[in-house]
Amino acid sequence: MTPRVVIIGAGIVGTNLADELTERGWTEVTVVDQGPLPLTGGSTSHAPGLVFQTTGSKTMTAFATYTVEKLKSLEVDGGWCFNQVGGLEVATTPQRLADLHRKQGWAISRGVPAAVVDPEECVRLHPLLDRDRILGGLHTPTDGLAKATRAVVALTRRAESRGARFQGNTQVTGIARAGGRVTGVETDQGVIDADIVVSCAGFWGRELGTLVGMRVPLIPLAHQYAHTSQVPELIGRNGADVEARLPILRHQDADLYYREHDDHLGIGSYAHRPMPVSISDLPGTVDVSESTQPSMLPFTDSDFAAQWEQSQELLPALASAKVETGFNGVFSFTPDGGPLIGESADVAGFWIAEAVWVTHSSGVARAVAQLLVDGRSELDLHGCDVHRFDEVETADAYVDETGQQNFREVYDVIHPLQPKLSPRELRTSPFHDRQRELGALFLESHGWERPHWYEANSSLVRELPAEWREPSRDGWSAMFHSPCVAVEAWKTRTAVAMYDMTPLRRLEVEGPGACAFLDRLTTGKMDKSVGAVTYTLMLDEAGGVRSDLTVARLATDRFQVGVNSNLDTRYLLSELPGDRSVSVRDITGGTCCIGVWGPRARDLVQPLSADDFSHEGLKFFRATQAHIAGIPVTAMRLSYVGELGWEIYTSAEYGRKLWDVLYDAGRPLGVVAAGRAAFNSLRLEKGYRSWGADMSTEHDPYSAGLGFAVRPQTKGKFVGRAAVEAIAPDAVTRRLTCLTVDDRRSVVLGHEPVLLDGEPAGYVTSAAFAHTLGTPVAYAWLPAGLEVGSGVEIQYFDRRIPATVAAEPLFDPEMSRIRR
Ligand code: FAD
Ligand code: THG
């Protein structure tokens, strides 16, 4: 017997999930929907179904590519579910054209064919375009139209043929549970028993989450979709069954997109003001039809006036047409634009798969089915996991504001470093005022303000020795950059610098079972002496890298664990033994941390303390409780930038004093405050990986160059042990590979494709200008077996930048900087 699964919602996500589960032999599946079947009245019931596969996220592209393949294989009574007309995104500004080149790079590095084409080719592909208004376009031949309402029928039939049941006109009103687990769903038609419930309720997700006390960070927004009257140029081309032959079209400089509906055009607009929707204001689900749906609000003409003019300019054939009908359709937005996948932290067996476009629906459903059936997904889900957000990011006010901001920015050209505009200053470290005084440029992460560099260091730019001066950058890589970064790197390597490490999440893991608990979940030996710090990995059962951590044993039964994201916190909490022998507490907010690093770090710290900060007194990767200028601190001797020094932690109330004491004492030694830009550059020189960017659950430790942290010989059972023991470290097929840029000046930023013999062979994960070495550096996933010295090319916009495989780490492989 397989588990009984109830899926809430028979839209494109719920039906895809029923299909994926039943395909895997989980046939005890019931899909319920408050609306009638198959046209339920949800977002799927009106979706125009444009599928543009390429975004900045590799996982989202993979979801979309799978949706295309799957829907192409489906039909209903001879009618298509996917019409592969191709996709065309046109540029009317130079910035957009450049961005399309960037996007073309994302596409080809993920196996999606795409080409930037000239205006003539755009017009050949889409003859309604005005040649004189466009500078070029991105053509993706495998994009196209999903017939979502028909796919729902095809998926329903197939799932039913394997035993799934579908029940419309059934509203879920509660989630039955016992002992912290779901036992069924309560509906207006009675209770349906279940071992697992998956809410695929689309923009109703927040309401469904409330039924189990789960915060689902999405906001329903309305979005305009208009139908034109007949367009003379389209008459007789398509027919009602084919619907479209021209590529789907995006005019992102005006926040607009287009598709054919036989001889009419459909126009979607993100150009209007955000229109938040309250569920209680929506029409009901009683009389659902093509034109009456709870997800459809009346078209507001005035919001479309300018967009109609812009459409007529881009597509002159519309001159003789008019807007015939339209609606304001409702769907979900989230704080970062990603979907929401995962299980409730409090009610086991309650899962969600929401804020998902038609474009990604089959891919998301496959991932959820894999999570449920196999316990893991083949794709990295960290950007999709509902638990990627910190608590503050799930507050209604935060979600409403950031969701609306994402609506505005849907088609904007966004620099990878561009911080959100609001809300800001939500989380500030105790050093914030000092950082402002030093002219910090703050970027934002999970609500934290993080200095990227300090304008105060500009006075030192002219003191930079010639070999530390950075070549000038192109406009894109120069954004959010400053010559101060070179100063901060230089001072870290030659004097001493202070880094605010407060936003780095830390957990206190405590109790008689703490050591065994951590030992079971990590790859390293945890039962070391008090004061030991261990760099270690958490793996999943298949040996994929869940995270990399530092674990400091501060007392026999108390550990401080430095983690990467809220996903780590969630995972540790979810694995706690039932006997209460261990507790896990996030202590980030009540504490703060300064990284004091550089060859003069000891000269700065030792005179301020009676405790022993000598090499022998506090060795590399050891921690101690100490006092600095009378302030109680925990000092850990480790350094992500690869220099002598310590992470110095204290509780928040002492933070500013600690900063002042260190900064003042450091003056004669040339101390600077240094930010994330230098930090990132220096850690890449040292070869230190950043989880989520460089590696994820898609990668095993050996491929990622982290085999040294896997120590099965020192311990017993741990999660992932069998899987990693089955890997021959020298036989991996791909490797995280260090590259240096041959011209020593062309900086790339990450996510660029890497070409081998002119063909896409991988992609850049992280990159920076390596100030110590005077060359840009990049890490990239590439075929294993590339010799050091092999030549590759990094595609940066429309350029190919020659680069060379380098031995790593580039800086201080002997660790002479740190161990002294
Ligand atoms: P839905 O289709 O909304 O399904 C959720 C279901 O849950 C509904 O049927 C609802 O009745 C049911 N439900 C909710 N609460 C309950 C309850 N308490 N009990 C029982 N059942 C319940 N995406 C694209 O990829 N390409 C596009 O071109 C595109 N264009 C769009 C244009 C417009 C105008 C809009 C508004 C959206 C567009 N989207 C597009 C987005 C896309 O439509 C949605 O993201 C997608 O359809 C969501 O599918 P779903 O299955 O998650 O949600
Ligand atoms: N500080 C603390 N915790 C952290 C990080 C941190 N946790 C998350 C993340 N950053 C972990 N990443 C690293 C990566 C490398 C190192 C430390 C944290 C590091 N590595 C040595 C090396 O590879 O040479 C360790 C070698 C060893 O195992 O002894 O220092 O920044 N607190």
Q: What pLDDT was estimated at residue 503?
A: 98
In whole numbers, what is the pLDDT of the chain averaged over residues? 97
| CB neighbour list of residue 668: distance below 8 Å, 6 or more residues apart | none
Token pair, residue 670, equals: 């040339």
Residue 235 banded pLDDT, cuts 50, 70, 90 = very high
* Nearest residue to 591 via CA among 445, 442, 449, 430: 430
Structural domain contains residue 561: yes
Asked whether 8 lines ligand 1 (CB < 6 A), one says yes
**Span from the CA of 688 to the centroid of ligand 2 (angstroms):** 7
Is 90 exceeded by the pLDDT of residue 754?
yes
Active site residues: 223, 257, 548
Task: Report the C-alpha gap between 67 and 285 in whole angstroms.
Answer: 28
Residues 224 and 118 grouped into a single domain: yes
Residue 662 banded pLDDT, cuts 50, 70, 90 = very high
Residues 315/123, Cβ–Cβ less than 8 Å? no
Task: Report the C-alpha gap between 545 and 749 in whole angstroms.
Answer: 23
Asked whether 40 lines ligand 1 (CB < 6 A), one says yes
Mark which of 278, 297, 329 sits at the end of a domain: 329
Residues 658 and 757 grouped into a single domain: no
Structural domain contains residue 152: no
**Span from the CA of 563 to the centroid of ligand 2 (angstroms):** 10
Structural domain contains residue 17: no
Residues 345/387, Cβ–Cβ less than 8 Å? yes
**Span from the CA of 754 to the centroid of ligand 2 (angstroms):** 27
Average confidence (pLDDT) over 393-399: 96
Q: How many domains does the chain have?
A: 4
Mark which of 302, 329, 356 sits at the end of a domain: 329
Residue 212 banded pLDDT, cuts 50, 70, 90 = very high
Residue nearest to atom 36 of ligand 1 (CA): 329
Asked whether 10 lines ligand 1 (CB < 6 A), one says yes
| CB neighbour list of residue 480: distance below 8 Å, 6 or more residues apart | 415, 417, 418, 441, 443, 452, 677
**Pocket-testing residue among 82, 150, 358, ligand 1, by greatest number of atoms within 8 A of Cβ:** 358
Q: Which amino acid is at 372?
A: L
Residues 487 and 517 grouped into a single domain: no
pLDDT tens track for 449-483: 999 999 999 999 999 999 999 999 999 999 999 99
Structural domain contains residue 754: yes
Task: Report the C-alpha gap between 115 and 99 in whole angstroms.
Answer: 13
Residues 489 and 582 grouped into a single domain: no
Q: What pLDDT was estimated at residue 561?
A: 98
Structural domain contains residue 186: no
Find the domain containing 495 and state its range. 432-460+482-502+592-682
**Span from the CA of 641 to the centroid of ligand 2 (angstroms):** 9
Q: What pLDDT was estimated at residue 739?
A: 98
Structural domain contains residue 812: yes
Residues 622 and 718 grouped into a single domain: no
Residues 128 and 231 grouped into a single domain: yes
Q: What pLDDT was estimated at residue 288?
A: 79
Residues 647 and 722 grouped into a single domain: no
Residue 490 banded pLDDT, cuts 50, 70, 90 = very high
Residues 556 and 606 grouped into a single domain: no
**Pocket-testing residue among 39, 44, 255, ligand 1, by greatest number of atoms within 8 A of Cβ:** 44
CATH of the domain at 806: 2.40.30.110
